[in-house]
Chain A
């Protein structure tokens, strides 16, 4: 390939990947600041604090790629976390964690039944499911944080392996597994086909309902896993984290470049999308920006990136 060919392909990749541009811009900007942004400690800390959202994002990507979306993850996250902590009192830890994750799978199954089998509007159904689960979470805890009594449970998220936090390792494992499922299995390729064109996928012999349904189950599993990890990280189960998490994660997936129209995007992109938010938080904290301005800048970042994304879609539509 000639040199200009490489340059144009890099240019194309960059304009496609707005999340990457945002990340690079922040990293270059931080070169000129007198903070220890580039210390190993800070980088690990940043990854650590965005790990849970990234795990959520990997799950949601399965539903968005196939043309759906999942806004129930916030509720699922908190209920699974609270469930794990409640069950810790009466059973061994591994069983409590397994049951919490099974609960997430059931929630995903119900979402999938309503959205895929009954063909309802995904985002409003999952929004309702989120409300339902948030209510259950508040009822379970009486809206108070619920402390965990088992010290081993706390070590799941707070421990480290040769200096690398466990959460980062779990996040990377999830990344690898979901990347493999999405990229190299028949199931994953079928999800892309369904997102691209539902009818065409159906006529080419893909079991569309089962495949798409399975996507929702995976999203539920990821959400409950994230919930368990969050509870373990805070050592408490609290119902307050469910409120905006779902929108932020779905938004992050779209920021990463997975299109809501379905069929476009991938797991690593979703990770990058959420990393934009994580890095933005980190950078703003480093620069000592007050919390109200942080909210403002986050909003501006969301609007700008989504706006650019929509604008690119429009240009593509008009070009055809």
Chain B
């Protein structure tokens, strides 16, 4: 009898270890990656590299946080690349004539407008599936990118051409508060706000229900249309924030600056563990996903892997994460 209960206990332990591995696979992968890189390349843990990681983290995490809501709501948004392009070139060009505060506000407003436009298209066409939203937003991304090209005439704009004060952008790009970079502090602030919105407000909970089952949500009196507008506006706004963080860091804005961000953001959200079916997930999980994606780039850089191979590794990790996630559900 005693032996059997011990066996059961052992089984229990193995089982719980497995479930931890399954549920926190991303954390395990991050730990593993950090360990290996730290052993092979001690520079990894140096202060300058940590600051570097924090800076790389900035733009992608902003975009991914917004994307999380869209995916929780059961939709997808490929237009963030176009939104980033448009917001970056418009904002940087307005610093000189209007001053930095109006430029910043107009940039953020533009992000909201782009998001709202997406949601209007989706609502009016009655697109309720992810695939329909995918192609509508792909088309919108093309349109926003075209506006960015037309607005900037295809040229890249630089910080050093601007004689007006641009202290806000310089602070976002390269300033520090204590040990942390300003962009990291901004990230913490947005994360806090979005986390409270997601888990403590009725609006946030409604997004989960919309993503889980649209018909059931509608029949139980939840305004799914309102939720859809909210998710796209949040995504557009966060894409605008991401664009501003991005061009502040690299001090230039080209009309193709956002290319690839839509895939990276979806990758980060999904790797973090928010399922594409909608209805579950969290901004905190997304942060882990982004951390993994950024750490992979950083570790592979330090290990001397070519940037081309990094694409391949990212793709492989994305497929592995989805596959394992799928096995967990089944």
Contact = CB atoms under 8 A, between A and B. Distances in A.
Contacts of B159: none
Interface string A121-161: 10111011111111110110011000000000000000000
Nearest to A114: B323
Nearest to B76: A123
A143 B308 contact: yes
B93 interface: no
Nearest to A307: B125
B319 A129 contact: yes
Given A120-B323, A132-B316, A295 B142 contact: yes
Given A127-B318, A131-B318, A300-B143, A307 B136 contact: yes
Contacts of A131: 263, 267, 311-312, 314-315, 318
A135 B308 contact: yes
B283 interface: no
A119 interface: yes
B192 interface: no
Interface string A84-126: 0000000000000000000000000000001000111101110
Interface residues of A, number: 48
A293 B127 contact: no
B134 interface: yes
Contacts of A209: none
Contacts of A128: 267, 315-316, 318-319, 322
A295 B143 CA distance: 7
A139 B308 CA distance: 5
Contacts of B314: 131-132, 135
A251 interface: yes
B25 interface: no
Interface stretch (A12-20, A29-37, A230-238, A309-317): A309-317
Interface stretch (B147-155, B160-168, B180-188): B147-155
A319 interface: no
B142 A302 contact: yes
A138 B330 contact: no
Chain B interface size, as a band, is 35 or more
A247 B76 CA distance: 14
A131 B308 CA distance: 10
A311 B126 contact: yes
Contact of B129 (A132, A139, A142, A261): A261
Nearest to A110: B319
A62 interface: no
B313 interface: yes
B315 A295 contact: no
Most chain A CB inside 10 Å of its own CB: which residue of B124, B146, B150, B309? B146
B169 to A, nearest CB: 26
A127 B260 CA distance: 12
A292 interface: yes
Interface in B297-318: 306, 308-316, 318
B148 to A, nearest CB: 9
A139 B277 CA distance: 33
Interface string B204-243: 0000000000000000000000000000000000000000
Contact of B139 (A121, A138, A299): A299
A71 to B, nearest CB: 10
A69 interface: yes
Contacts of B141: 299
Contacts of B147: 296
A302 to B, nearest CB: 3
A224 B308 CA distance: 21
B54 to A, nearest CB: 25
Most chain B CB inside 10 Å of its own CB: which residue of A128, A132, A313? A128
B315 A132 contact: yes
A311 to B, nearest CB: 5
A249 to B, nearest CB: 12
Contacts of A247: 78, 138
A123 B143 CA distance: 23
A123 B326 contact: no
Contacts of A132: 311-312, 314-316, 319
A273 to B, nearest CB: 12
Top 5 nearest A-B pairs (CB, nearest first) are: A135-B311, A135-B312, A314-B126, A132-B315, A299-B142
